[in-house]
Amino acid sequence: MNGSSMCDGTNLCWSMSESGRTPRVPSPTCGKECRSVEQVRSAASRYVSPPEIAPHSAGAAVDLTLADADGRELDMGTRMNATPEESAGACYTQADNISHQARSNRDVLGTALGAAGLVNYPTEWWHWSYGDRYWALTTGADAACYGPKDLDSV
């Protein structure tokens, strides 16, 4: 284990409604194609945070995994971004249905990032943050350090 791999850092969000296009997203949560902004927002919120609170777009969160010296990702029990349904809950950080090696690798990742002050979102072993709302809640901080910024007002 000689490295890590960052897969998602500042996942910037742009609103389809601002572009003048009507969003159409097939969604298992809508049961059919979603056409309204509200339907898309509802369906998407099952997989990503709304832009106004999303830690990635604020620069406060990263999705990380471990890699060996040759850049090959190590066994973490599931692929990054696995859903609870497809992984039988193995995407949860403390899942008990993963191999001993995957548990050991998750422990290494957690120890290193925890020592640096990051906190893990427990339903996603790969999601770590510092300074966002969840971090503030978990650490007892008075407030989050980071939040979204409207680029038009900069």
In the numeric block, which tokens belong to residue 6? 């960052």
Given a cut of 90, is residue 59 above it in pLDDT? no
Given a cut of 90, is residue 107 above it in pLDDT? yes
Cα–Cα distances in Å, from 100 out to 29, 57, 125? 34, 34, 15
Q: Is residue 132 part of a domain?
A: yes
| Over residues 7-28, mean pLDDT | 40
- Work out the pLDDT band at 152, boundaries 50, 70, 90: low
Calpha distance 85→28 (Å, rounded): 12
Give the pLDDT of residue 57.
Answer: 62
Which residue type does 108 have?
Answer: V
In the numeric block, which tokens belong to residue 14? 């742009």
Q: Is residue 25 part of a domain?
A: no
What confidence tens digit (pLDDT) does each residue in 77-92 have?
999 989 899 999 999 9
Q: Is residue 35 part of a domain?
A: no
Q: Is residue 112 part of a domain?
A: yes
- CATH number for the domain spanning 68: value is 3.30.1380.10
The burial class, CB within 10 Å (0-12 / 13-18 / 19+), for 115 is exposed
Pairing of strands 127-129, 119-120: antiparallel
Give catalytic residues, as residue numbers: 124
| Partners of 3 in the β-ladder | 67
What confidence tens digit (pLDDT) does each residue in 39-51 have?
766 666 666 655 5
Number of Cβ within a 10 Å radius of residue 132: 24
Q: Is residue 22 part of a domain?
A: no
Calpha distance 123→45 (Å, rounded): 14
